[in-house]
Chains A and B, each alone.
Chain A
C-alpha cells in the first residue's frame, strides 16, 4: 500500500512569485486536507478537498487555492508569495469525512522558503 507522497520536498521562491505543491493520496482515500506548519508551531488547516470539491476552509486568504483531480491527487497553489508563507506544507489523506473520527494520514511535507 502506497502512502501519501508530496512533491517537491523543498522549494525556494521569492516574494510575489507563485508556487504549486503536489500531493498523491493514499490508495483508497478520496479526501485530501492541506495544512501549513510554521516553524515551532502546530499545523494549521488550510482547506480540504473531497471528491474534487472544496469541503471546508481555514482562515487563509484567497491567494491560497487548490485542486483535486479524478484520481484524488491534489495541488495547493499559493499566489503572490509573502515572507510569512515560509513553512512546511503538509498534505493528509483520509476516507469520506462523514463521522469526523477518520484518521488523516500525512505525507512528509514540502518545505517552502520565501526570500
Chain B
C-alpha cells in the first residue's frame, strides 16, 4: 500500500526566505510523485511531478523537488518565497498499475510573512 507523510501542518517563512516543504512516501514499487498547490476556495494545481529520469524536477513558479529513493523523499523547495506562495501544498504518490489513483498527504499550509 502507498502512503505519503507530510511532516508538520504549517510552515511559516519570511518573504525572500527559502521554502522547504517535506514529503516522504512509502511504496513497494517505483513511485510517481506529484506536488499540487491549493489556493483558498480553489481546486488543485499541479506544481511539478516526477515519473522517471532526472531526479531533480523543476516546476512552475520557481519550485523544484528532488526524488531521493534512498531516503524515500520528495521535498519541495523554492529559493525565495513570495507573498503569493501562501497556500496549501499537497504531496501525492501513485505507481504503474494504480490507474493514476493518487494517494495524497494531509497537506502543509505555507504562510509568508512580509
Interface residues of chain A, those whose CB is within 8 Å of chain B, are 4, 6, 31, 33, 35, 40-45, 48, 50, 55-56, 58, 90, 92, 94, 97, 99-109
Instruction: Please name all residues of chain B whose beta carbon is closer than 8 Å to the beta carbon of A45 when the two chains form the complex.
Output: 101-103
* Least distance between B30 CB and chain A CB atoms (Å): 9
Interface residues of chain B, those whose CB is within 8 Å of chain A, are 4, 32, 34, 36, 41-46, 49, 51-52, 90, 92, 94-107
* Least distance between A97 CB and chain B CB atoms (Å): 4
**In contact, A41 and B106 (Cβ under 8 angstroms):** yes
* Least distance between B61 CB and chain A CB atoms (Å): 16
Beyond the given A48-B100, A90-B44, A103-B34, could you list 6 further A-B residue pairs with CB under 8 A, ordered by the A residue number?
Answer: A41-B106, A56-B99, A90-B43, A94-B100, A106-B36, A108-B43
**In contact, B44 and A55 (Cβ under 8 angstroms):** no
Contact of B42 among A31, A102, A108 (CB under 8 A): A108
Contact of B45 among A40, A48, A106 (CB under 8 A): A106
* Least distance between A13 CB and chain B CB atoms (Å): 20
User: Who on chain A is nearest to B109 by CB?
Assistant: A40
Q: How far is the CA of A107 from the CA of B42 in the complex (A)?
A: 8
* Least distance between A72 CB and chain B CB atoms (Å): 15
Instruction: Please name all residues of chain A whose beta carbon is closer than 8 Å to the beta carbon of B94 when the two chains form the complex.
Output: 100-101
**In contact, A101 and B32 (Cβ under 8 angstroms):** yes
